[in-house]
């Protein structure tokens, strides 16, 4: 095979991978204020749910999981990660532990769960296009719940005052 073709292929594949990583990063930044446990949905159904995730890190880059790095992620209905917010390293007070090729896993009740894989590029782009409507729906739901909470608080205050 021609070296220039190999170089072109390598460049295009690398650019595609970098652009997908950038898209996942933008999605993670957009979802950062949304609390763990929230489910985002649009008129087509669930887009993602915000979950706790974790990964491991090692002081020696030997794939030994010495410390756990905890974070958040967005899980699609199919069970794949849309994005995550996990650090690349953790300082334990004595040593720096680096994440290399450790998997991203579910994190629940202090336990590491199953290993997660990322959604494909196509799925990530499809869900990214649906996120604005899902976020708008979530904001409307939050506003309705705030109004309901305020009404309930007012009712409690009226009951307390009438005693």
Look at the chain and report how many structural domains it folds into.
1
Expressed as residue numbers, the domain containing 39 is 3-153
Dist. CA 20–CA 119, nearest whole Å: 11
Report whether 55 contacts 103 (CB < 8 A).
yes
Assigned domain for 92 exists = yes
Assigned domain for 15 exists = yes
Assigned domain for 90 exists = yes
Assigned domain for 141 exists = yes
Assigned domain for 117 exists = yes
- Give the tens place of pLDDT for each residue, 16-50: 888 898 999 999 999 999 999 999 999 999 999 99
Assigned domain for 159 exists = no
Angle at 14 between CA 31 and CA 130, to 5 degrees: 30
Assigned domain for 158 exists = no
Of the pLDDT bands very low, low, confident and very high (cuts 50, 70, 90), residue 13 is confident
Q: Across the chain, where does the E strand assignment appear?
A: 39-42, 45-57, 67-75, 81-85, 89-91, 96-98, 104-108, 111-116
Query: In this prediction, what percent of the chain has a pLDDT beyond 90?
Result: 50
Q: Which residue has the higher pLDDT, 86 or 34?
A: 34
Residue (of 43, 46, 65, 162) closest to 112 by Cα position? 65
Assigned domain for 162 exists = no
């Amino acid at each position: 095979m021609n070296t220039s073709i190999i170089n072109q292929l390598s460049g295009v594949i690398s650019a595609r991978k970098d652009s997908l990583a950038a898209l996942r990063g933008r999605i993670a930044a957009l979802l950062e204020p949304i609390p763990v446990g929230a489910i985002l949905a649009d008129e087509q159904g669930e887009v993602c749910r915000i979950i706790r995730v974790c990964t491991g890190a090692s002081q020696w880059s030997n794939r030994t999981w010495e410390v756990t790095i905890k974070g958040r992620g967005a899980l699609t209905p199919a069970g794949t990660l849309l994005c995550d917010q996990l650090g690349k390293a953790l300082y334990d007070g004595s040593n720096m532990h680096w994440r290399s090729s450790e998997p991203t896993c579910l994190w629940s009740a202090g336990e590491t769960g199953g290993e997660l894989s990322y959604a494909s590029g196509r799925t990530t782009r499809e869900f990214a296009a649906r996120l604005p409507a899902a976020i708008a729906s979530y904001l409307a739901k939050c506003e309705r719940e705030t109004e309901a909470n305020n009404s309930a608080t007012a009712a409690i205050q009226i009951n307390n005052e009438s005693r």
